């Protein structure tokens, strides 16, 4: 096969998906584990002992050999539109949950978060090539437009009963960007469902009905860019309540930090990454698609041609105002939201929100995370809180016991933490015993 040597060939496999789980693991151990027994034990440690639950996990994706755990935590004390929430978060990064909880408490004492859904429309597109007369294509589209929507009636019936369905369908000429390229741009409402399968099924039915001689359908697919599925969240307080010491100075520095992220892409990327720490953690915990959400948010941050901050901060006379606006396509029915046991529990913890409720909760989580990061950056510095968790991670890597953790945590209070320094201190501690 293309001159591949025997060593390479031995690590390629045919029919892997047909192997049993044990056969998959054994093949992997033979070809890629440095220590076969240790690798197999690690996989077995993360297999759920409840065989029914494990089978459920096995069937989420293909070629499952174990589970990869991410910590599942709660950030309490969120007050959103006057309603209290404890927000579930699934994330591995240190300090994220602690920062969210601290921010929630800070703002719950100042009236809490205000949030609103601006719009909920989603988009799908049929991409096609047409080399004929644009006027003829427009005439054909107008003639069959109603029929295109009727072609989806069997798919949209239940969605229409819930107030959703196809809102509009447009023919878009994109030949300026690509020769002979056009789109059918379709706008949807999907209620409490994220709607990916629904939208894609509708698009395929539309494409099948629209295609004729001269029209070459390239693909039919939803878009994860949903600039008309928008949510806004905001907090505000008197400047004098912003920080215990020099409140106006620190409020102004906070606003300046956001202004920098608005005009400097190198800063904006890290700024928005911090926002997504909060957003993705809640999206993942509720069984939604955090990759789609992240892609759409970053596209929205670049909508005017430059990548910018998703948040905004202002001081108006004596008031400090901090807000976020971004697109969020989320669902509370269908998919993993009703299938994954922890996703179902997350929805219960969030008091069984509608999709609009969840949009507001997730936006608030992103705003809270950004507030915590910027407040730390412009006051005490970001590393003070982060290094506490970083130290714990290092101690766990070095397999320190409870007593050693206590001694070393105390010894490194207020000091710079590095892996080598902690390892050296631990070694001396053990040597002296």
Residue 404: the pLDDT is 82
Question: Do 294 and 188 reside in the same domain of the chain?
Answer: no
Q: Is the pLDDT of residue 67 over 60?
A: yes
Give the residue-averaged pLDDT of 294-314: 98
201: domain CATH number?
3.30.70.420
Query: Is residue 313 in a domain?
Result: yes
Place of tokens 């105390």: 410
What pLDDT score was predicted for residue 36? 95
One domain for residues 362 and 269: yes
Task: Tell me, yes or no, whether 206 lies in a domain.
Answer: yes
For residues 269 and 374, membership in a common domain is answered with yes
Q: How far apart are CA 166 and CA 143, in angstroms?
A: 18
- How far apart, in whole angstroms, are the C-alpha atoms of residue 276 and residue 282? 10
**Residue where one domain finishes, among candidates 222, 254, 287:** 222
Percentage of residues of the chain with pLDDT beyond 90: 82
Predicted confidence band of residue 39 (pLDDT cuts 50, 70, 90):
very high
Residues 394 and 406 both lie in one domain: yes
CA distance 363 to 117: 10
Residue 296 clears pLDDT 90, i.e. is over it: yes
The predicted model gives 121-148 an average pLDDT of: 97
pLDDT computed for residue 215 by the predictor? 98
Query: 368 and 242, same structural domain?
Result: yes
227 belongs to a structural domain: no
Q: Is the pLDDT of residue 405 over 70?
A: yes
Is residue 158 domain-resident? yes
Burial of 50 (0-12, 13-18, 19+ CB in 10 A): exposed
Q: Does residue 52 share a domain with residue 12?
A: yes
Read off the pLDDT band of 433 (50, 70, 90). low
> Residue 3's pLDDT is what?
57
So which residues are the catalytic ones? Answer: 93, 273, 289, 386
Distance from C-alpha of 275 to C-alpha of 298, rounded to nearest angstrom: 11
Domain match, 276 and 297 both: yes
For residue 230, is it within any domain?
no
* pLDDT value of position 382: 54
54 and 141, same domain (yes or no): no
In a domain? residue 54: yes
Q: What span, in angstroms and rounded, lies between the C-alpha atoms of 120 and 187?
A: 10
Residues 6 or more apart whose CB falls under 8 angstroms from that of 105 comprise 77
What confidence score (pLDDT) does residue 5 get? 73
Span of 172-176, 220-224, 362-366, 393-397 with lowest mean pLDDT: 393-397
| Average of per-residue pLDDT values in the chain | 93
Domain count within the chain: 4
31/16 Cα distance (integer angstroms): 13
Q: Are 130 and 110 in a shared domain?
A: no
Res 427: pLDDT = 82
- Tokens for 432, please give them: 């002296």
Task: Give the CATH number for residue 309.
Answer: 3.90.770.10
CA–centroid distance for 114 within its chain? 21
Which has more confidence, 113 or 5? 113
On whether residue 63 sits in a domain, the answer given is no
Q: Is the pLDDT of residue 1 over 80?
A: no
pLDDT(397) > 60? yes
* Band (6; pLDDT cuts 50, 70, 90): confident
State whether 110 and 250 are in the same domain: yes
State mean pLDDT over 333-359.
94
Rg (CA), the chain: 26
Q: How confident is the model at residue 417 (pLDDT cuts 50, 70, 90)?
A: confident
Rounded to whole angstroms, the Cα distance separating 199 from 17 reads 29
Coil, strand or helix: which one is 108?
A: helix
> What is the average per-residue pLDDT within 301-308?
98
107: tokens are: 């703002």
Q: pLDDT by residue (tens digit) across 78-126?
A: 999 999 999 999 999 989 999 999 999 999 999 999 999 999 999 999 9
Q: Which residues, 6+ apart, have CB-to-CB distance to 277 below 8 Å?
A: 91, 93, 96, 369
* Domain co-membership, 204 together with 146: yes
- Say if residue 380's pLDDT is above 80: no
Q: List, in order, residues 6 or more apart from 267 with CB less than 8 Å away.
A: 260, 261
Residue 229 within a domain? no
User: Domain limits at 320?
Assistant: 72-114+235-381
Q: What is the pLDDT of residue 19?
A: 96
| Co-location of 92 and 127 in the same domain | no
Phi, psi of 191 (to 5 degrees): 60, -130
pLDDT of 393: 78
Q: What is the pTM of this model?
A: 0.88
């Amino acid at each position: 096969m293309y001159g591949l040597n025997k060593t390479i060939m031995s690590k390629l496999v045919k029919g892997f998906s047909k192997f049993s789980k044990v056969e998959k693991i054994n093949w992997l151990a033979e070809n890629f584990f440095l220590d076969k027994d240790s690798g197999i034990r690690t996989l077995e440690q993360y297999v759920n002992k409840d065989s029914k639950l494990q089978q459920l996990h096995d069937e989420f994706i293909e070629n499952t050999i174990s589970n990869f755990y991410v910590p599942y935590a709660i950030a309490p004390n969120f007050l959103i539109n006057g309603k209290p929430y404890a927000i579930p978060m699934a994330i591995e990064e240190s300090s994220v949950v602690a920062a969210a909880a601290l921010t929630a408490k800070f703002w719950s004492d100042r009236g809490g978060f205000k949030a609103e859904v601006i719009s909920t429309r989603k988009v799908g597109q049929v991409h096609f090539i047409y080399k004929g007369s644009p006027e003829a294509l427009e005439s054909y589209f107008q003639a069959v437009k109603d029929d295109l929507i009727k072609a989806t009636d069997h798919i949209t019936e239940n969605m229409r009963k819930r107030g959703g369905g196809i809102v509009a369908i447009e023919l878009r000429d994109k030949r300026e960007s690509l020769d002979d390229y056009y789109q059918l741009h379709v706008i949807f409402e999907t209620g409490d469902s994220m709607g990916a399968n629904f939208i894609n099924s509708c698009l395929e039915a539309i494409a099948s009905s629209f295609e004729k001689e001269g029209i070459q359908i390239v693909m039919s697919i939803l878009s994860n860019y949903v600039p008309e599925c928008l949510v806004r969240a905001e907090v505000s307080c008197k400047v004098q309540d912003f920080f215990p010491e020099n409140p106006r100075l620190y409020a102004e520095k906070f606003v300046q930090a956001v202004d920098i992220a608005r005009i400097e892409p190198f800063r904006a990327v890290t700024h928005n990454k911090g926002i997504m720490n909060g957003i993705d953690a809640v999206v993942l915990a509720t069984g939604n698609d955090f990759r789609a959400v992240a892609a759409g948010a970053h596209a929205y941050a670049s909508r005017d041609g430059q990548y910018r901050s998703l948040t905004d901060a202002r001081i108006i006379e004596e008031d400090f105002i901090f807000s976020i606006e971004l697109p969020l396509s989320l669902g509370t029915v269908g998919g993993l939201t009703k299938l994954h046991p922890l996703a179902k529990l997350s929805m219960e913890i969030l008091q069984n929100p509608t999709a609009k409720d969840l949009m507001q909760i997730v936006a608030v989580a992103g705003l809270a995370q950004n507030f915590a990061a910027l407040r730390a950056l412009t006051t005490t510095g970001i590393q003070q809180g982060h290094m506490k968790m970083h130290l714990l991670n290092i101690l766990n890597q070095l397999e320190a016991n409870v007593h050693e953790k206590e001694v070393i945590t105390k010894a490194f209070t207020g000091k710079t933490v590095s892996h080598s320094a902690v390892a050296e201190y631990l070694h001396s501690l053990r040597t002296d015993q």
